[in-house]
Amino acid sequence: MLDLAFVRENVERVEEKLAERGVPGGLDSFRKVDLERRRLLTEVEALKNRRNRASEEIGKLKQQGVDVQDRIRETRTLSDEIKRLDEEVGKLDEELRQILENLPNMPHASVPIGSSPKQNREVRRWGEPRQFSFPPRPHWELGEALGILDLARAAKITGSRFAVYWDLGAKLERALANFMLDAHGREHGYREVLPPAIVNSASLFGTGNLPKFAGDLFHLENTDWWLSPTAEVPLTNLFRDEVLDAAELPIKLMAYTPCFRSEAGSYGKDTRGIIRQHQFQKVEMVKFAHPDTSHQELESLTNDAEAILQKLGLPYRVVLLCTGDMGFSSAKTYDLEVWLPHSGEYREISSCSNFESFQARRANIRFRTGGKGKSEFVHTLNGSGVAIGRTWIALVENYQQEDGSIVIPEVLRAYLDGAERITAEGRLVPK
C-alpha cells in the first residue's frame, strides 16, 4: 500500500508510475474523494470540539447543582448531527481505503518500462545448455518410465495438477529441500523457520495477496483461513504490528513449506507434467531490511538463489522484470529461469523481489534506531531459494541419459544415501 500523504502530495508522479505498470485509469477519483473527505472531516471535528466543551460545561454546572436540562437537549441535537456526518466520513474513508489498497506498488527507477514479458531484460546467463546426442525427453516421460513420478494415481486420489512421487523421486524432493536449507543456512546466513501452511486473511492482506487476488488462493470453507500460496506470507507476517530494532537488520529467514495455488484461469497452460501444480514445495527466503540498503539486499538475495542452481550445475539466466510483468506488491523483481531441455527454453524457477515499504505499510512492520526516535517502515524482500518441483524437473531433464536413467549431481548424493543414478531397476510402482 502506498502512503496516503505521499500519494496526495505526488499525485501526478504516482499516476505516471502506475501508468508505466499498465494500470488503467488515473487518480481522479482519489483526488475527489480525498478532498471531500478532508472537507467533511474538518466540519465534523469542529462540531465534536463544540460538543466536548459543552459536555465539560454540563459536568461542572451539574456539580454546582444548576439545572442543565436545556443544555443537554441542545447538545443532543449536536450529537445527532455529528453522528450523521461521521457516517458520511466513514463512507469516504472506506472509499479512499479501497482506492489505496488496490493501487500496486511503484516500480523502482531501474525497472525497464514495458507491457509484456518481451520487455523484460536479461541480466546475465550462467552455464551452457547441454548438447544432447539424442532427443531429450520430457520429465513426465522419464519420471513415469523410472517409476518415480505418478500423475495418473495423483489424479485419482486428488485431481489434475497434483503429483505422486515414488521411491527416489520422493527422496529427491526431500534431498533438494535439505540441500537448499543447508546451503542457505550455513553459507548465506538465513535462519530456519517452520511456519503454518494455513494463514488468515490479515496475513494475506499484509503481503498484498488480498483483497485483489483471492481467486488465486484456496479458501477453507466457513473460516478465515486460506492455504498459503508461498512461505512469503507467514514469514513476512511474523513481525506484523511489531517494531524491530535497526541493529537487528537485515533479518534473514528461510522456510521449507508446501505452497498452494488455485491456478484459476490457467486452464490449458502447462498441462503436461508437473510444471504447474496446485501444490508444490519451495524453500523461500525472506529479508527485513533497512531502506538504505534494501536494493543491495535484493542483489545478494538473488545471488543466494543463483548459488543453488550453480551448485546443481543447472544452466539458468537472470531476468529483470519490466513494469508490466511485475507482481502487484513488488518494486523490483529478478526472475531466475532454468534451462529445460524438453521445451528448449528457460522457465521461471525463482522470483526475487524488493517490496520496499509496500508490504511493511500494509502489515505495519516498523523499525526504530537505538530504541528511540520515530519508527519507520522496514523494507521487505523475498525470493524462492528455489522452487523444488521445478528443480526436480530441471534435474531429471538436464541429467537424463540415453538409456532413460538420471545421473545425480555430486552435491546431492550425500542426501540420497550415496546414490549416483536413478534407474528403473527394482521399481516399486506397478505399471
Partner RNA sequence: GGAGGAAUGGGUGAGUGGUUGAAACCGGCGGUCUUGAAAACCGUUAGCGUCGAAAGGCGCUCGGGGGUUCGAAUCCCCCUUCCUCCGCCA
Binding stretches for RNA (CB under 7 A): 4-5, 38, 41-42, 45-46, 48-49, 51-56, 58-60, 62, 72, 75-76, 78-79, 90, 371-372, 374
| 347 included as an active-site residue | no
Return all residues near 73 (Cβ < 8 A) that are at least 6 apart. Answer: none
User: In the bound complex, what is the minimum distance in angstroms from residue 240's beta carbon to RNA?
Assistant: 13
Q: Is the dihedral of CA 273, 277, 283, 286 positive or negative?
A: positive
Output the smallest distance, CB 287 to RNA, in A.
Answer: 24
Which of 51, 153, 276, 413 is catalytic? The answer is 276
Is residue 149 a contact partner of residue 173, using CB atoms and an 8 Å limit? no
DSSP notation for 328-374: TT-SEEEEEEEEETTTTEEEEEEEEEEEETHHHHHHTEEEEETTEEE
Catalytic residue among 21, 261, 361, 362: 261
CB of 298 to RNA, least distance (A): 26
| CA dist., res. 145 & res. 141, Å (int) | 6
Measured CA to CA, the distance from residue 114 to residue 209 in angstroms comes to 23
Q: How many CA atoms lie within 13 A of 374 on its CB side?
A: 2
| Shortest distance (Å) from residue 3 CB to RNA | 7
Query: Would you call 300 a catalytic residue per the annotation?
Result: no
**Nearer of residues 35 and 264 to RNA, judged by Cβ:** 35
Burial 368-406 (b: 16+ CB within 10 A, else e): eeeeeeeebbbbbbbbbbbbbbbbbbbbbbbbbeeeebb
Instruction: Give 75 or 382: the residue with its C-beta nearer to RNA.
Output: 75
Least Cβ distance, residue 226 to RNA (angstroms): 14
For the CB of residue 90, give the shortest distance to RNA in the complex, in Å.
Answer: 7
Q: How far is the CB of 316 from RNA (least distance, A)?
A: 39
Rounded Cα distance between 145 and 422, Å, is 11
Nine-digit cell string for 316: 539458468
**CB-based contacts of 405, cutoff 8 Å, min separation 6:** 146, 421, 422, 423, 424
Residue number, 311 or 368, with CB nearest to RNA: 368
Q: Which is nearer to RNA, 33 or 163 (CB)?
A: 33
- Classify residue 370 as left (phi > 0), alpha (psi -120 to 50) or beta: left
Residue 373 CA, chain-centre distance (Å), reads 30
Q: Which amino acid is at 130?
A: R
Cβ–Cβ < 8 Å for 82, 51: yes
As given in the structure block, the three cell numbers for residue 170 are 520422493
> Which residue, 78 or 193, is less far from RNA as judged by CB?
78
Tell the smallest beta-carbon distance from residue 215 to RNA (Å): 25
Return the number of the residue (68 or 298) whose C-beta is nearest RNA: 68
The answer to whether 408 touches 421, Cβ cutoff 8 Å, is: yes
Q: Going along 3-114, which residue ranges are E strands?
A: none
- Report the C-alpha gap between 63 and 67 in whole angstroms: 10
Catalytic residue among 228, 351, 384, 405: 351
The one catalytic residue among 232, 390, 397, 405: 390
3-state secondary structure of 336: strand
Between 197 and 307, CB nearer to RNA:
197
Catalytic residue among 348, 368, 376, 413: 348
**Closer by beta carbon to RNA, 198 or else 429:** 198
Alpha-carbon distance of 52 to 67, in angstroms, equals: 19
Look up 276 and say whether it is catalytic.
yes
> Mind telling me the catalytic residues?
261, 276, 348, 351, 390
